[in-house]
Homo-oligomer: A and B are copies of this chain.
């Protein structure tokens, strides 16, 4: 972040026509945004929402309530504007892109070996990096990929430890037997790979997936482009965790849009040190929870940049 812009934004915030601190978290959010944009009086005019889609070999282990075909079917739905993220990105004034990542070529089943080769991982990271619009002033990344809560749970367990049950949830709607099987699959996969995992990006290749790597690539590109990011759900945060585990502070340009109902999400947010803006029980992915938080950040920035100061308004100080 730009320290001069941060200081100027903080000074301006202290002069606005409100009691000190009365806008609560909105004040720190707006100042944080000003710092990353290097603009003490910024605006948010061009948010970008990207949905990355990938397929997962681990579905062979029976870990999802929906079949893999749903990934490509939902991509078609995104393209015609029929999904939840279309509505929420539209309502928030965000442009939207859909990036399909080799849907007809799923990752390898990571209970048997690495999900991706190094070349596949780099290609997915690059696809994410290149998808970010350099003119965007806010980024939301979401995903679609049947089986990807299993990948996110395996990544979380590999990066942060604990029990497989701490990180494994019902995803799109598993029953108790399905959840027990999924938990066992996660434990088995991590037992296979953990001894040789060297860092977050290595974990990403072994236990992640193309859409998860692409999200990580997009978030890293946003950092370089000074584009603040709103984190979405469990899977997005698992992608972010791969970056943060590799380089501390790699998500300093990101805030948590929400805490969802998938049980591992709260644990990831805690490990990442991110307090969610919303807690509304979402568990859809696609970027929906992050898109829902765009207007909160817009509102925060509008207050910082648009409010009058006490002096301008002729209002008596407290």
Contacts and interface: CB of A to CB of B under 8 A. Distances in A.
Given A17-B82, A82-B312, A288 B74 contact: no
| Interface SS of A by simple majority | loop
A139 B116 CA distance: 52
Contact of A66 (B73, B87, B280, B316): B316
Interface residues of A, number: 61
A74 B310 CA distance: 10
Contacts of A73: 313-316
A72 B19 CA distance: 16
Residue among A77, A90, A279 with the highest chain B CB neighbour number at 10 A: A77
Contacts of A298: 91
Interface stretch (A32-40, A158-166, A195-203, A299-307): A299-307
A277 interface: yes
Nearest to A283: B22
Nearest to A82: B308
Interface string A11-39: 00000111111111110000000000000
A160 B19 CA distance: 28
A87 B292 contact: no
A74 B17 contact: yes
B82 A313 contact: yes
